[in-house]
Amino acid sequence: MTNKILLLSCVFIPLAGAIIAPLAGYISTKFRNALALAAISASFIAAASLIPVVLAGNTITVSANLPLGFNFILTADCLAVFMATVSSFICAIIVLYSFGYISHYRNQNEYYLMVVLFLGSMMGLVFSANLIFLYIFWEITAIASWRLIGFFREKRDILRADKAFLVTVFGALAMLLAFVLIYQKVGSFDLAAIKLYFKTTPVPDIAVILILLGILTKSATLPFHTWLPDAGVAPSPVTALLHAAVLVKIGVYVFARLFIVTFTPSEIWHTIIPALAAASALVSAGAALVETDLKRIIAYSTVSQIGFIFLGFAVNNTIGIAGAMLFILMHGLAKGGLFLCAGIVEQNTKTKDITRMGGLISTMPITALSFLACSFSIMGIPPFGGFFSKYMVFSGAVGGGNIYITLAFLSGAVLTILYLFRLFNMVFLGESRGNLAKEGSATMIVSVAVLATMSLAGGIYIIYPSSFVAVAVKQMVGM
């Protein structure tokens, strides 16, 4: 019973908090900020306290039967709890950071409404065991990110926000069509019923294509990746939240949930998807290498790293899947950290152009060190967390047997190292080509330092996440 309450509070505390927080903003901004952080932390604590339960091999289900097969079901299994814990933790750090970053802009009530709503619907999405509710939460995250990207009211910002919204809605509608197709075959939107049905029948390829359209648009993978770098006009905590840590992971999460846990697409997809991911990883790594806009480089890097996660999930062997899950964690921490560092740099130097920066390590040492630590993790340098996840994805890919795709990803990994070092050099080392700005505010520095430390700790204490992931993978592939 307590577990069910925990599960419900994971989803509904932030959803309720999203309504209350902006109202509280009319009373006091401090109270509102505290409330927003409390809602998200409560969700994190609830999700984290479910870990021992799911580790013991239990799954928790809360369900309400609704007409026409639109049952409301929340299920907490290892994969869902893992995702929920990671995203709520990163979200909590980002909100903490926002206290400093966002404090001198307008429309703060709307900001906190959307951030908390975003996390609530993210939680709903990961725990949903019904396609229609998964879709609903999916679209609520799209609404939230639309408003968050358009936080600044310049015409360019709004246009980019509209672009992101339209692209992801297009993909979502394609996915909805696939859900309707599955509904007609199975007669229900319940994942359990769908899993049972597709045990004996193969999944129609058209459904796989349509669902992939949804996933690729949400996770900003080639050829639908362009909205993500463009969305860099948003405030930095938003880009960290949406484009690095949480939003883009929705796509890969649904990939794992549907294509690994629920049904297996036909053999050919295990070649097509890694190939797509490889192209995405290479193209965007190349773009990151030549860009000069600080946030666009990191955004392209996200597109590139998402390719690795897809690779891990798509090769369909246990080590690949485990690697991909760890990758979600490590990339979330490190990329969140990078974006937040970029936020500090951008806010204090008043520019996003890296050719006009340099030498910033002397004035903002903590930011620089955090940036470096997060970069090491993304590059996959031991003992940072990113090394283990990248290594496992590669070993999964080698086990999958396609040597060309593995080679493509290897060169992608090399490019990652190149563009991140270039970025670090241009921004923090060498002679100053602009103004030497001061360090960010205390909450902001603490946030980036925590994420950087976590990236390192994630590698040193890799045993904890990896043992959890090992249980999760067993549960996912049904051993």
Partner 1 sequence: MMPSLLILIPLFVIMAINLPKHTGRRLAFYLALALFATQMILAVFHQKLFLTNEAVGIDRFFRVDLSIDHLGVVALVCMGIVSISSLFVSRYMPLDESERFKFTNLLVIMSIGMCGIVMAKDIFSLYVFLEITAIASFILIAFKKDIGGLEGAFKYLVLSAIATVFMLLSIAAILLVSKDTSFAAITEALKVSGSQPVVIAAIAIFLCGLFIKGGIFPFHGWLPDAYESSPAPVSILLAGIVTKVAGVYTIMRITMLFGSSASINNVLLLLGTLSILVGAFAALGQDNFKRMLAYSSISQVGYIILGIGAGTPLGMAAAIFHFFNHAMFKSLLFVNAAALEKETGTVSMSKMGGLAERMPVTGTTSVIGILSAAGIPPLAGFWSKLLIIVALWQAGRYSYAAIAIFAGVVTLGYLLTMQRKVFFGKLSAGLDDVKEAGFGIVLPSVILASIVVLTGLLFPFIFQSFIIPVKELLQH
Contact region with partner 1 (CB under 8 A), list: 74-82, 161-169, 307-315, 424-432: 161-169
Choose, by CB under 8 A, the member of 20, 49, 61, 162 that binds partner 1.
162
Least distance from partner 1 to the Cβ atom of residue 146, Å: 8
Residue 4 tokens read as 């069910």
Cis peptide bond prior to 223, omega within 30° of 0: yes
Closer CB to partner 1, residue 164 or residue 222?
A: 164
Count of other CB atoms within 10 angstroms of residue 230: 19
According to the binding rule CB under 8 A, does residue 143 interact with partner 1?
yes
DSSP alpha helices (H): ranges in 187-316?
191-197, 205-218, 227-230, 236-238, 247-255, 269-290, 294-314
d(CA 425, CA 296) in angstroms, rounded, equals: 16
**Structure tokens given for 361:** 């390590």
CB 151 within 8 A of CB 105: yes
Q: For partner 1, which is the closer residue by CB, 170 or 391?
A: 170
Asked if 154 touches partner 1 (CB under 8 A), the answer is: yes
Interatomic CA distance for residues 417 and 301, integer angstroms? 10
DSSP for residue 76: E
Q: How far is the CB of 359 from partner 1 (least distance, A)?
A: 36
Stretch that binds partner 1, among 173-181, 215-223, 285-293, 399-407 (CB under 8 A): 173-181
Binding of partner 1 at residue 136 (CB under 8 A)?
yes
**Which of 120, 150, 235, 440 forms a contact with partner 1 (CB under 8 A)?**
150
The contact pattern for partner 1, residues 89-128, with x = CB under 8 A and - = no contact, is ----------------------------------------
CA dist 335 and 220 (Å) reads 15
The β-bridge partners of 232 are none
Instruction: Please state the closest distance from residue 169 (CB atom) to partner 1, in A.
Output: 6
Interface residue with partner 1, options 5, 19, 23, 159 (CB under 8 A): 159
Of 70 and 391, which has the nearer Cβ to partner 1? 70
- Told to check if 135 binds partner 1 by CB under 8 A, we report yes
Give how many residues touch partner 1 by CB under 8 A.
30
CB of 173 to partner 1, least distance (A): 5
Q: Give the list of residues 6+ apart from residue 188 with CB closer than 8 angstroms, or none.
A: 69, 71, 194
Nearer to partner 1, 62 or 158 (CB): 158
Q: CA distances (Å), 469 to each of 74, 83, 190, 226, 463, in order?
A: 21, 11, 25, 32, 10
Site stretch for partner 1 (CB under 8 A), options 156-164, 221-229, 333-341, 449-457:
156-164
For residues 213 and 251, what is the distance between their CA atoms, to the nearest angstrom? 10
* Integer Cα distance of 200 and 26 in angstroms: 57
3-state SS class at 439: coil
Of the candidate spans 76-84, 150-158, 296-304, 445-453, the one that interacts with partner 1 by CB under 8 A turns out to be 150-158
Instruction: For residue 105, give the 3-state DSSP assignment.
Output: coil
Q: How far is the CB of 66 from partner 1 (least distance, A)?
A: 4
The DSSP-derived string for 310-359 is: HHHHHT-SHHHHHHHHHHHHHHHHHHHHHHHHHHHHHHHHS--BGGG---
User: Of 77-85, 171-179, 292-300, 325-333, which part binds partner 1 (CB under 8 A)?
Assistant: 171-179
Q: For the window 178-217, what string marks contact with partner 1 as x by the rule CB under 8 A?
A: --xx-xx---------------------------------
Smallest distance, Å, CB 117 to partner 1?
11
Tell me how crowded residue 267 is: count the other CB atoms within 10 A of its CB: 8
Look at phi and psi of residue 206 and say left if phi exceeds 0, alpha if psi is from -120 to 50, else beta. Answer: alpha
Least distance from partner 1 to the Cβ atom of residue 69, Å: 10
| CA gap 426, 447 in Å, rounded | 23
Q: Is 158 in the site for partner 1 (CB under 8 A)?
A: yes
Q: Which of residues 47-76 bind partner 1 (CB under 8 A)?
A: 66-68, 70
Using rule CB under 8 A, residue 142 touches partner 1: yes
Minimum CB separation of residue 224 from partner 1 in Å reads: 13
Return the number of the residue (56 or 68) whose C-beta is nearest partner 1: 68
Q: Which residues in this chain contact partner 1 in the complex, by CB under 8 A?
A: 66-68, 70, 132, 135-136, 139-140, 142-143, 150, 153-155, 158-159, 162, 165-166, 169-170, 173-174, 176-177, 180-181, 183-184
